Amino acid sequence: MKTRERILVTSLELFNEFGEPNVTTIHIADEMDISPGNLYYHFRNKNEIIYELYQQFEKRMNEILVPPPEDRQITMEDHWLFVHLLFEHIWEYRFIYRNLPDLLASVDKLATHFNRILDKKERVNKAICEGLIANGTMIATVDEVNSLSQNITMTMTYWLNYENVRNKGKHTEDLGKGVYQVMSLLTPYLEPTHRAFMQDLSKKYL
């Protein structure tokens, strides 16, 4: 691995483990056993590292956040897979979600970029609800789909953060439980015959 890439991998590990505000470029250089000068040759400051990691995060996130094709029947299994992939990706870059307001304020344009991701999350959630309604899996009004899509987006964004607070900072977050909580927001809108999937999930996760 080249030094530049190693800096990024090491920074991501340290940010995730200790929180970005508690990690300096000195720590990163020290962990890698390189001189701070060598690090500064590749990144002028910590914000440049954050921005680069954010771009990696965004690139993959955009691949996950694709609305299902309209001609395809959407099932609860599709929804489960989507939420699971999303949580796995957030977990990989969890430092971004830990101190959102400060992180977004620290790097230029990050707040705009992150809001674009939240917009997309909301759109995909809405498209999934509409797909489930179209094929009779779910029943909900337009207002209900709107507030539900926002609540799902919010829960997807903060659940791991919440688990971290619940575990008093120990990294024992349970992605499966998060997926279950997000999907349980949908359950009451499902046609009774389609609730078996959620009952199976609950046996697995609760």
Residue ranges binding a copy of itself (CB under 8 A): 19, 21-22, 98-102, 104-105, 111-112, 114-115, 118, 140, 143-144, 146-148, 150-151, 154-155, 157-159, 161-162, 164-166, 168-169, 180-181, 184-185, 187-189, 202, 206
Alpha helices in the chain (DSSP H): 3-18, 25-32, 36-42, 46-64, 76-92, 95-98, 100-106, 110-134, 142-166, 175-184, 196-205
Burial environment of residue 1 by CB neighbours within 10 A (0 to 12, 13 to 18, 19 or more): exposed
Tokens at 105, concatenated: 């304020």
Q: Smallest gap, in angstroms, from Cβ of residue 76 to a copy of itself?
A: 16
Within 13 A of 97's CA, how many CA atoms are on the CB side? 24
Q: Of the two residues 26 and 105, which places its CB atom closer to a copy of itself in the complex? A: 105
Q: Of the two residues 39 and 86, which places its CB atom closer to a copy of itself in the complex? A: 86
Residues 6+ apart with CB under 8 A from 44: none
Q: Smallest gap, in angstroms, from Cβ of residue 40 to a copy of itself?
A: 24
Q: Smallest gap, in angstroms, from Cβ of residue 37 to a copy of itself?
A: 28
Q: Smallest gap, in angstroms, from Cβ of residue 91 to a copy of itself?
A: 15
Cα 7 to the chain's mean position, in Å? 23
Rounded Cα distance, 34 and 60, in Å = 29
Q: Smallest gap, in angstroms, from Cβ of residue 35 to a copy of itself?
A: 29
Q: Smallest gap, in angstroms, from Cβ of residue 69 to a copy of itself?
A: 28
Q: Of the two residues 4 and 109, which places its CB atom closer to a copy of itself in the complex? A: 109
Contact (Cβ atoms closer than 8 angstroms) between residue 90 and residue 48: no
Rounded Cα distance, 198 and 78, in Å = 13
Q: Of the two residues 127 and 154, which places its CB atom closer to a copy of itself in the complex? A: 154
Q: Of the two residues 91 and 158, which places its CB atom closer to a copy of itself in the complex? A: 158
Q: Of the two residues 21 and 68, which places its CB atom closer to a copy of itself in the complex? A: 21
Rounded Cα distance, 129 and 131, in Å = 5
Single-letter amino acid code for the residue at 84: H
